[in-house]
Amino acid sequence: MTTLPLSHPDRTDAGFRPFRALHHFRRLIADKEDTEQVFHIIDALRDKRFGRSVERFFTTPEGRRVLAERPYLPALLDDHDALRRLPEGSVGRVYVDFMEREGLTAQGLVDESLKFRRGKPSHDDMLELYGNRLRDTHDLFHILTGYGRDALGEQCVLAFSYSQTPSWGTLFIAWAGAREIRKGFGRRYPIYGAVREGQRIGRVAQQIAHQNIETLLAEPLDAARARLGIAEPTVYKQVHAMMRADGIDPYDLLGTKAAEAAAVQPELAQAA
C-alpha cells in the first residue's frame, strides 16, 4: 500500500479563528457564487474531528483503494459523454443533467480551492487527499440528498455534510446562512427546521464520500438513496411549496425584493 502520512510534517495549524470565518462569511453572503470563501471559512474553523474522520475513511476498503490508486475524481465527473452513456435515471445521468443545467464542473470547484490555496504550500498527506474528495463530491451530495442549489438547499446540504464529516466550518455556514435567509421572512417558513432535518438525515445515512464513486454513478438514483439510507427532505420541500404559494422564488432569496418586502411586513404590522 502507498505510504502517506495523516498530516505532513510541514503542515502548520493556524488555530481556531472565528472572526476570520465571520469575515469570509460576510463576503460569501455578498456573493453566494464566490465559492472560494467557503474554503476560507472551513480552514478558519478546522478542528481535530476532521483528522479523526480522515483516519476512519482510510481504514475502510474504499479508503485503502483510494490511497493506493489516487483517482482524480474531477476527470471522472467531468466526462459528460461517458456519464450520458449510463442508464436513464442513474445517479450519473441525473448528475450530468444537473451540472450542465447549472453551468457547473467538478474542475470549477478545484479552481476555486486553488484560489484559496494561492501562495500556500500543498501537502501530500491524507488530510489533503480526503479534503479534495469532499470537495469533488459536493455536487453529488446535492443529487443524492435532493437539495437544490437555492440558498436554503445549500445550507441544508452543508448541514447534511456536517453530520457525515463533522466540521465547525460547514455547520457555521449552514446555520449562519439559514439565519440570513430567515432575516427576510421571520418565522413564516420553517427555515431552521429544514436545516435541522438536513443534519438528521446526514447522521443516519451512510457516508457518501466513502462510496466507490464510479460504481455509485451507475446506480439508479432511487436505489442509491435507499441503499445509503438517505431520507426525503420533507421540510425543505415544504418550505419551497409555501414560498411558491406566496409568489416567492426559492431560488432567488438572498438580497431579493421578495425578501425585503417580507421583512417590511412585520414592521408595518407593528406600526399599525
pLDDT, one tens digit per residue, over 21-50 is 888 888 888 887 788 888 788 888 888 888
pLDDT per residue as tens digits for the range 181-211: 998 788 999 999 999 999 999 999 999 999 9
3-class secondary-structure state, position 35: coil
Confidence category of residue 112, pLDDT binned at 50, 70, 90: confident
For residue 47, the model assigns a pLDDT of 83
Place of cell 420541500: 237
| Phi, psi dihedral angles at 220 (to 5 degrees) | -60, 140
The mean pLDDT of 67-88, rounded to a whole number, is 97
Task: Check pLDDT > 70 for residue 257.
Answer: no
- Supply the pTM of this predicted model: 0.85
Sequence-distant contacts of 72-75: CB under 8 A, at least 24 apart: 73/106, 73/132, 73/133, 73/136, 73/137, 73/213, 74/105, 74/106, 74/107, 74/109, 74/110, 74/136
**Top-confidence residue, 148 or 254:** 148
CA atoms within 13 A on the CB side of 55: 7
Task: Check pLDDT > 60 for residue 174.
Answer: yes
Count other C-beta atoms under 10 Å from residue 1's C-beta.
Answer: 8
Task: Check pLDDT > 50 for residue 260.
Answer: no
Judged on CB neighbours under 10 Å (0-12, 13-18, 19+), 196 is middle
Look up residue 127 and give its three cell numbers: 488530510
What separation in angstroms does the CA of 101 have from each of 68, 95, 96, 97, 98? Answer: 34, 10, 8, 6, 5
- If we measure between CA atoms, which residue out of 268, 262, 264, 265 comes closest to residue 250? 262
Element holding 158 (H helix, E strand): helix 151-164
- C-alpha 244: how far from chain center: 24
CA atoms within 13 A on the CB side of 243: 27
| Cβ atoms 89, 221 nearer than 8 A | yes
What does the alpha-carbon distance between residue 240 and residue 234 come to, in Å, rounded to a whole number? Answer: 10
Task: Check pLDDT > 50 for residue 216.
Answer: yes
Count other C-beta atoms under 10 Å from residue 222's C-beta.
Answer: 10
